[in-house]
């Protein structure tokens, strides 16, 4: 199995000082506000630069989606952080108090397990193999040529492919295309491709794993075409320009005239 060091070994020397990777909890990644994420960029496109810096607030609406990410990509973390009600599931390390864990009902776990199994049994591509071999839940940080600092946290990646899991109500191509457009998912894809390219020196392919959290748990792999990624890269550049313009507008007058 390839390691992150294997992926980074061949990248150009000039880029080594500008990109690095960390294995860290999601909370630590979110706390590094000096680096901008794809969520910031997507908000800049949807709602304008003023909304881009709004703090991340977990309102609970993504609870099951977050649990599915842990179950699919980090099953050991799922066992540690989640408590399955109606089951005898002591903490994996024997130390975490049940009150400090996230509670999941038996019915909710059945939905999560159904979605996970649909992903791993996907018939049109070896998703289980790709997930097992990929780098999971790692944070990538880099600076670009303009000195701007960015961050990304792909669900799973290697030097050839990035996989990003999305729960949705309709996995079919036309329905999921509307969801991609509504939530700016393609800007996220372009941002992640930029992150991995700067980290490894190679531009990977990108695919969304779309899955429904209701029976019969349909799953669909949506790989973006080169044309899709080119359009997404143009949207990404526009979002970054809007952030730059917003920063310049809010910079103190003395700094602008210096």
Phi (first) and psi of residue 36, to 5 degrees = -95, 145
**Do 212 and 18 contact (CB within 8 A), yes or no?**
no
Measured CA to CA, the distance from residue 56 to residue 6 in angstroms comes to 33
Q: Which is nearest to 162 in space by CA: 124, 123, 122, 202?
A: 202
Give, for all 258 residues of the chain, the pLDDT tens digit. Answer: 556 665 666 665 555 558 999 999 888 999 999 999 999 899 878 766 555 555 555 556 689 999 999 999 999 999 999 999 876 455 555 556 677 889 999 999 999 999 999 999 999 999 999 999 999 989 999 999 989 999 999 999 998 999 999 999 999 999 999 999 999 999 999 999 999 999 999 999 999 999 999 999 999 999 999 999 999 999 999 999 988 876 665 555 544 444
Phi (first) and psi of residue 171, to 5 degrees = -85, -10
Per-residue pLDDT, 85? 87
Residue 216 preceded by cis peptide, ω within 30: yes
**Do 210 and 115 contact (CB within 8 A), yes or no?**
no
Per-residue pLDDT, 257? 45
Per-residue pLDDT, 255? 47
**Domain regions of the chain by residue span:** 63-121, 125-253
Chain position carrying tokens 């491709």 = 193
Measured CA to CA, the distance from residue 122 to residue 108 in angstroms comes to 21
Chain position carrying tokens 């049940």 = 98
Measured CA to CA, the distance from residue 44 to residue 52 in angstroms comes to 5
CATH number corresponding to 125-253: 3.90.320.10
């Amino acid at each position: 199995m390839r390691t992150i060091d294997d992926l980074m070994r061949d990248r150009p020397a000039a880029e080594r000082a500008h990109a690095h990777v960390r294995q860290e909890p999601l909370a630590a990644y979110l706390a590094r506000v000096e680096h901008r994420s794809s969520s910031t960029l997507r908000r800049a496109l949807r709602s304008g630069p003023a909304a881009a810096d709004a703090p991340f607030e977990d309102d609970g609406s993504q609870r099951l989606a977050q649990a599915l990410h842990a179950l699919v990509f980090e099953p050991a973390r799922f066992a540690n952080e989640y408590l399955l009600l109606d089951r005898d599931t002591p903490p994996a390390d024997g130390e975490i108090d049940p009150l400090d864990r996230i509670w999941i009902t038996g019915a909710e776990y059945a939905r999560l397990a159904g979605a996970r199994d649909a992903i791993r049994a996907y018939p049109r591509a070896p998703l289980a193999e790709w997930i097992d071999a990929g780098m999971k839940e790692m944070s990538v940080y880099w600076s670009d040529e303009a000195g701007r600092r960015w961050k990304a946290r792909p669900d799973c990646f290697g030097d050839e492919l990035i996989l990003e899991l999305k729960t949705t109500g309709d996995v079919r191509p036309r329905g999921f295309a509307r969801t991609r457009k509504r939530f700016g998912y393609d800007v996220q894809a372009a941002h992640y491709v930029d992150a991995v390219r700067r980290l490894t020196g190679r531009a990977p392919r990108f695919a969304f794993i779309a899955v429904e959290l209701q029976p019969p748990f349909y799953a669909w792999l949506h790989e973006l075409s080169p044309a899709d990624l080119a359009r997404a890269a143009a949207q990404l550049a526009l979002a970054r320009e809007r952030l730059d313009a917003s920063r310049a507008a809010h910079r103190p007058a003395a700094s602008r005239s210096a």
